[in-house]
């Protein structure tokens, strides 16, 4: 039937390249079906699962399983990254060509930044032969170890060992250099520091094949917003300083940063109920991230609708080769009808995700997707997944 779009926007489906769907191994946090339902409820029609499951997605049969589960769920298009090494801290590279034939879209170290420069170099060299990007979660573990939030006045005041910004930036610098030496495709996940932005800017100016994403929560919150009573503010990389946040904005405005990505990281209530220092890192993003960015930036005129779509649909689809569903003329489209005036109090009972670790719980959000179509099929209507 006809849809009344008066006062609303029809967006191309949003594309989120960084989600943790937790299947196999951590289904108490999320599974592929619940994560893909959360995606379409939040306006995302394509998502890429990270490989830090148990077992790790480091061989073809498991990658094919993840993709099949995504298809069975029949909601968002589910893509997957494979791990770079066999096992998350592995010392042997995966069979990249075989995994590519199995349908993976990238190779990711997510969850454990590759500590060995030699391994990263090999990963870039071999991934280059497949044409797929290496997704780097840049973190020097020797610098980050034992930290819970960004090293700052706040970490000192709260009595936490801070995570220095350099634990990320030194690895970004390293990986940009290695991308230059190998000519491999590099995608830097959740950039959160000024020095990281500068290194990526320099690499791009040299013509290297680098892209980068920012987690929207790093634009909305700073380390000063962290309260020990709400562990949903505990995320990795940690919430940035004001100065780093400014640099992320500069990076978005001048094209150094290519895309937003939620890093949807569901964790159970029990895990997040632990004391701040012991709770796991991660924010549940798929059902609240678009509304969060809308109300914080687009509604205030800080970010244009066109730029939002570039950052969260066009650029990510292009980088990982998924244009088909969203943009090709003559193909059934992935679309979202978005109502900038719609309000909703974020209520765990209404969430599709199995986990509710978001700072927005119980808060009212304004600006929400109302209908979502994937490949021309209506999968969410009036805030309910069909």
By beta-carbon proximity to ligand DOR, the closer residue of 204 and 218 is: 218
Q: Which of 108, 130, 182, 236 binds ligand DOR (CB under 6 A)?
A: 236
Of these residues, 175, 258, 263, 334, which one is catalytic? 263
By beta-carbon proximity to ligand DOR, the closer residue of 263 and 352 is: 263
Q: Return the residues of window 245-274 that contact Zn ion according to CB under 5 A.
A: 263
| Region near ligand DOR per CB under 6 A, out of 8-16, 79-87, 123-131, 277-285 | 277-285
Task: Report the partner that residue 281 touches, choosing among Zn ion, ligand DOR, none (CB closer than 5 to 8 A by kind).
Answer: ligand DOR
Cβ 50 to Zn ion shortest distance, Å: 5
DSSP state of 41: H
**Distance in angstroms (rounded) separating the CA atoms of residues 38 and 23:** 15
By beta-carbon proximity to ligand DOR, the closer residue of 137 and 354 is: 137
Q: Which of 106, 265, 308, 380 binds ligand DOR (CB under 6 A)?
A: 265
Q: Does residue 282 interact with ligand DOR by CB under 6 A?
A: yes
Q: Does residue 369 interact with ligand DOR by CB under 6 A?
A: no
The conformational region for residue 384 under phi > 0 = left, psi -120 to 50 = alpha, else beta, is: beta
**Distance in angstroms (rounded) separating the CA atoms of residues 162 and 147:** 5
108 class by beta-carbon count within 10 Å (0-12 exposed, 13-18 middle, 19+ buried) = buried
By beta-carbon proximity to ligand DOR, the closer residue of 22 and 319 is: 22
Q: Does residue 16 interact with Zn ion by CB under 5 A?
A: no
Structure-token pair, residue 102: 């199995």
Q: Which of 30, 58, 109, 110 binds Zn ion (CB under 5 A)?
A: 110
Q: What is the residue whose two structure tokens read 């991934």?
A: 127
The residues, any chain, with a CB within 8 Å of residue 111's CB and separated by 6 or more, are 50, 51, 52, 88, 137
Q: Does residue 137 interact with Zn ion by CB under 5 A?
A: yes
By beta-carbon proximity to ligand DOR, the closer residue of 236 and 315 is: 236
Longest dimension (CA), the chain: 59
Q: E strand or H helix at 54, and its extent? A: none
Q: What is the residue whose two structure tokens read 């990320």?
A: 168
By beta-carbon proximity to ligand DOR, the closer residue of 52 and 105 is: 52
Stretch 58-97: interaction string toward ligand DOR, x if CB under 6 A: ----------------------------------------
**Distance in angstroms (rounded) separating the CA atoms of residues 97 and 177:** 24
Q: Hey, is 120 helix, strand or coil?
A: helix
Task: Report the partner that residue 282 touches, choosing among ligand DOR, Zn ion, none (CB closer than 5 to 8 A by kind).
Answer: ligand DOR
16 is catalytic: no
Q: Does residue 231 interact with ligand DOR by CB under 6 A?
A: no
Cβ 330 to ligand DOR shortest distance, Å: 38
| Region near Zn ion per CB under 5 A, out of 109-117, 154-162, 212-220, 364-372 | 109-117
Give the CA angle between residues 261, 267, 271 to the nearest 5°. Answer: 145
Q: Does residue 281 interact with ligand DOR by CB under 6 A?
A: yes
Q: Does residue 235 interact with ligand DOR by CB under 6 A?
A: yes
Cβ 99 to Zn ion shortest distance, Å: 19
Q: Hey, is 10 helix, strand or coil?
A: strand
Q: Does residue 137 interact with ligand DOR by CB under 6 A?
A: yes
**Distance in angstroms (rounded) separating the CA atoms of residues 7 and 312:** 21
Cα dihedral sign, 7-11-13-15: negative
Q: Does residue 111 interact with ligand DOR by CB under 6 A?
A: yes
8 A C-beta contact, residue 192 and residue 200: no
**Distance in angstroms (rounded) separating the CA atoms of residues 34 and 42:** 12
Cα-Cα end-to-end distance for the chain: 16
Q: E strand or H helix at 70, and its extent? A: helix 60-73
By beta-carbon proximity to Zn ion, the closer residue of 16 and 370 is: 16
Question: What is the binding site for ligand DOR (CB under 6 A)?
Answer: 20, 52, 110-111, 137, 235-236, 263, 265, 280-282
Binding site residues, Zn ion, CB under 5 A: 110, 137, 263
* Active-site amino acid positions: 263
């Amino acid at each position: 039937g006809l849809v009344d779009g008066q006062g609303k926007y029809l967006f191309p489906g949003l594309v989120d390249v960084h989600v943790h769907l937790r299947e196999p191994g951590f289904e108490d946090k999320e599974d592929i079906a619940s994560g893909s339902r959360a995606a379409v409820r939040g306006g995302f029609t394509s998502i890429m699962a990270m490989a830090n499951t148990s077992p790790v997605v480091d061989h073809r049969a498991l990658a094919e399983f993840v993709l099949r589960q995504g298809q069975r769920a029949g909601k968002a298009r589910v893509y997957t990254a494979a791990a770079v090494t066999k096992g998350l801290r592995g010392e042997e590279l995966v069979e990249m060509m075989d995994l590519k034939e199995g349908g993976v879209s990238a190779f990711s170290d997510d969850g454990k930044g590759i500590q060995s420069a030699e391994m990263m170099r090999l990963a870039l060299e071999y991934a280059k032969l497949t044409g797929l990007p290496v997704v780097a979660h840049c973190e020097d573990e020797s610098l980050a170890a034992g930290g819970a939030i960004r090293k700052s006045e706040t970490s000192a005041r709260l009595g936490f060992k801070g995570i220095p910004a350099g634990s990320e930036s030194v690895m970004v610098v390293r990986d940009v250099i290695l991308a230059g030496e190998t000519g491999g495709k590099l995608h830097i996940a959740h950039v959160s520091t000024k020095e990281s932005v500068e290194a990526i800017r320099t690499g791009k100016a040299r013509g290297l094949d680098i892209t980068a994403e920012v987690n929207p929560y790093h634009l909305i919150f700073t380390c000063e917003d962290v309260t020990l009573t709400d562990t949903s503010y505990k995320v990795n990389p940690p919430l940035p300083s004001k100065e780093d946040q400014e640099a992320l904005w500069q990076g978005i405005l001048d094209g150094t940063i290519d895309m937003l990505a939620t890093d949807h990281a569901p964790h159970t209530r029990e895990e997040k109920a632990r004391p701040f220092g012991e709770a796991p890192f991660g924010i549940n993003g798929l059902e609240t991230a678009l509304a969060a960015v809308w109300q914080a930036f687009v509604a205030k005129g800080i970010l244009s609708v066109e730029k939002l779509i570039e950052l969260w649909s066009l650029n990510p689809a292009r980088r990982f080769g998924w244009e088909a569903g969203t943009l090709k003329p003559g193909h059934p489209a992935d679309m979202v009808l978005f109502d900038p005036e719609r309000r909703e109090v974020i209520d765990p009972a209404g969430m599709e995700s199995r986990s509710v670790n978001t700072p927005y719980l119980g808060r009212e959000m304004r600006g929400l997707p109302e209908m979502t179509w994937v490949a021309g099929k209506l999968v969410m209507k009036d805030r309910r997944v069909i």
